[in-house]
Amino acid sequence: MDCQDYITEPAQRKKGQHLQREERGAIQHLKRQGYSNRAIAREIGCLPSTVASELRRGTPPRKSNQGRKPGYSARRGEAVYKANRKLSRRCHRIGRCARFLRWVARQFKEHKWSLDACVGYVRLHRLFPADEMVCTRTLYHEVWAGNLYLQFAIIY
């Protein structure tokens, strides 16, 4: 009796996807068995250069010429991958605009100005350099995201 509901074949990797934890574990296992990078890539379904990059990422640097050569670790590869991903994101520009944000908050609270009016006034009178301020859209995005909630009253 055949059961049509069960999948017995592993899912195919989509082109351009990052390696998953299971694939890193497979690389570690296959490399310890002596497979080449091309054979590992065929098994996993990715490019050999992806396997080479992952092996480079997950192998600790050799400290001396004595002793055994350090091997690939899937855990180390995952940790280095996550650290690199964290560093790859662009920093919020709003972090460099503290003086401008304090001024906007003061105008918003004391004079009941809108965020758009504050930015327009600053640009018109050139109170801050362009690299020390952000646009109206960024201000509203930060307020809606809750990042500027402490500085501003609730905006509706």
Residues 51 and 80 in one domain: yes
Nearest-angstrom CA–CA distance, 153 and 149: 7
Q: What is the rounded (10 degree) CA torsion for 41, 82, 79, 146?
A: -150
Residues 27 and 50 in one domain: yes
Residues 98 and 121 in one domain: yes
Residues 78 and 27 in one domain: yes
Q: Structural domain of residue 79, as residue ranges? A: 21-88
Residues 84 and 99 in one domain: no
Residues 55 and 42 in one domain: yes
Residues 99 and 138 in one domain: yes
Task: Work out the number of other CB atoms within 10 angstroms of the CB of residue 50.
Answer: 19
Query: Taking residues 57-63, what's their average pLDDT?
Result: 89
Question: How many domains, the chain?
Answer: 2
User: pLDDT tens, 109-130?
Assistant: 899 999 999 999 999 999 999 9
Residues 56 and 104 in one domain: no
Q: State how far the alpha carbon of 135 is from the alpha carbons of 55, 121, 139, in Å.
A: 43, 12, 7
Residues 117 and 58 in one domain: no
Nearest-angstrom CA–CA distance, 89 and 85: 7
Residues 28 and 60 in one domain: yes
The answer to whether residue 81 is domain-embedded is yes
> Residue 6: its pLDDT value, please?
54
* pTM higher than 0.85: no
> Residue 144: its pLDDT value, please?
87
Share of the chain above pLDDT 70, in %: 87
